[in-house]
Every structure is written in C-alpha cells, then in structure tokens.
C-alpha cells in the first residue's frame, strides 16, 4: 500500500488511505470526448456539482486540450478559460480543485484563487513551471509522456520495456523537483496512459503498473474513454464506459490512489467495490 495516507491540498486534506475519484471538467472547445460541453461558466459549475454529488473527491479543471494532435493555446487564453471556473468552484461549492495545466501563469493564478492541486502532463518541464509550482505551495502530479500532443502518437517507440521507461523518467523528474526545493511529500505520479504510447504499451504498462510502487509516491491514473479502449473493443467514445470501468478496477488493484474519470458515479462504484475486495486481503 502507498505510504502517503493524506495530502494537504491548500485548505483541504485529501485522504489517500483508500482510492479516490477525480472528476474531469474540460473547459475547452476541442477535448476528445466532451469538447465544448462545459465552456460556459454555469454549465461547468453545474457539471462539477453533479460530479461532487456522485462521489468525486476532487475536480480536475483543464483549459488546454492534450488529445493527440491538439493545438496549443496561449497562456492568456488558457487563463481566461480556467480562472473563472476555479474561482466559482471554490467560492460556490467549496470544491477541492485540481488544475490540469503546464502553464506557470495558470498555476500561480489558480493557486491564488484557491485551487488545491497542480496536475501537469509535462511534469513541470516548461520554462518557469517548476518555480511556479514551488511558489504555489500546492502538491503536484508529474506525468510520463513521450513527445507533445501534436506528435506524441506518431509511431511512439521505446528502447527499454515501457514500465522501465516510465519508472526511470518519473524517478528523474522527482529527483529534479526535490533538488529544486519541491518536497517529495507534495508529489504524485501519473504513468501517462495514452501519452506517446501504443495500445500494446498501454496494456503492458497497466499489467506491470505495480512496479511503480518502488517510487513510493501516490499514483494518479487516467484511462477514461481513451483510444486504447476503443481500439481493443472497437467502440466509439460514447460506448467506452464498460471497458473503462474494467481498467479502473485493474488500476485500483495495482495501486492507483486517484482515478481520473469522466463518468463519476459508475466509477465510484467500481472503485469502492474493488477496494472492498482488496481490503479483505490486508
């Protein structure tokens, strides 16, 4: 089991002694599964309210699509999308808000507005991101990826087994963050399913995900509605929930502590049922 029992996320304490569900709130016009549905502030707020009522422990707000082939957005455009939503979620719902961003400006402003977590698919590699994260005082999720959204799915390959590549990259990023002053107890890790990985890479990585326990940090996993499900099961985005729930249960069994999902209610049930079984073996 993961040694980190809880995580201080601003004024919220996130209990990680058991797995929790993170609800996805995309405020972009071009996300792969729900682009444009929650761009309006009131729509975003109501969707977040539903996810919290369904059992989400935190809401992950993203203002830049990182789907394969997605275009980049300017810091100001991302901030204009994200900041009003973060402010409303904190003020009106007292929600624990995670911000899915690689942008230093968005990190700083979101922290000032009351966000509790930074979720960076680029692992604080953008110029100024590490300093912004340190200054925020918030915990940070570091994710493995190969390439950038524009090209990451163009024939990805690795010279070592995928689980070794992921573990080595994340260990190096943790070491660099610690050396810069970002304390280890503020870090989470994401294996980065679908980010510069073939279907075979993704399946092997999940099969061997328990090897990441050696890094002794909480794992955040996101596979909801991803193309790996579509390719294995030959299902369009709107028919990937059953496959996603199977992956969610497997991820919990292999040590995931935060599950990042679109469909909160069924995912909470899958997590809780899987955890009930696992607890009997403790």
Residues labelled as active-site residues: 226, 260
Of the candidates 228, 237, 145, which has an alpha carbon nearest to the alpha carbon of residue 250? Answer: 228
Burial class of residue 31 (count of CB atoms within 10 Å of its CB; 0-12, 13-18, 19+)? buried
Full 3-state SS string of 43-75: HHHHHHHHHHHCCCCEEEEECCCCCCCCCCCCH
Task: Report CA torsion sign: 88, 90, 95, 101.
Answer: positive
Token duo for residue 282: 């403790």
| Phi then psi dihedrals of residue 165, to 5 deg | -60, -45
- 207 close to 246: Cβ distance less than 8 angstroms: no
The DSSP call for residue 234 is: T
DSSP 151-202: TTTSS---SS-HHHHHHHHHHHHHHHHHHHT--GGGEEEE--TTSS--HHHH
Strands 256-261 and 219-222: parallel
């Amino acid at each position: 089991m993961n040694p980190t029992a809880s995580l201080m996320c601003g004024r919220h304490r996130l209990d990680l002694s058991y797995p929790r569900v993170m609800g996805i709130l995309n405020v972009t016009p071009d996300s792969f599964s729900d682009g444009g549905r929650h761009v309006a502030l009131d729509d975003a707020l109501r969707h977040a309210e539903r996810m919290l009522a369904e059992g989400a422990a935190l809401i992950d707000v993203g203002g830049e699509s990182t789907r394969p082939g997605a275009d980049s957005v300017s810091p100001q455009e991302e901030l204009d999308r994200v900041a009003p939503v973060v402010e409303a979620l904190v003020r009106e719902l007292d929600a624990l808000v995670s911000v899915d961003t690689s942008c230093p400006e968005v990190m700083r402003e979101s922290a000032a507005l009351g966000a509790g977590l930074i979720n960076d698919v680029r692992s604080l590699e953008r110029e100024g991101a590490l300093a912004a994260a340190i200054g925020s005082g918030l915990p940070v999720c570091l994710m493995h990826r190969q390439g950038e959204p524009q090209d990451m799915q163009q024939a990805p390959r690795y010279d070592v087994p995928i689980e070794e590549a992921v573990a080595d990259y994340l260990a190096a990023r943790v070491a660099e963050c610690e050396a810069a002053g970002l304390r280890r107890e503020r870090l989470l890790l994401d294996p980065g399913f679908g980010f510069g990985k073939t279907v075979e890479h993704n399946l092997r990585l999940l099969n061997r995900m328990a090897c990441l326990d050696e890094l002794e940090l909480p794992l955040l996993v996101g596979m909801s509605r991803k193309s790996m499900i579509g390719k294995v099961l030959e299902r369009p985005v709107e028919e990937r929930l059953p496959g996603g729930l199977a992956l969610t249960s497997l991820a919990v069994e292999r040590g995931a502590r935060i599950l990042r999902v679109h469909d909160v209610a069924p995912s909470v049930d899958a997590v809780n049922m899987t955890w009930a079984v696992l607890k009997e073996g403790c």
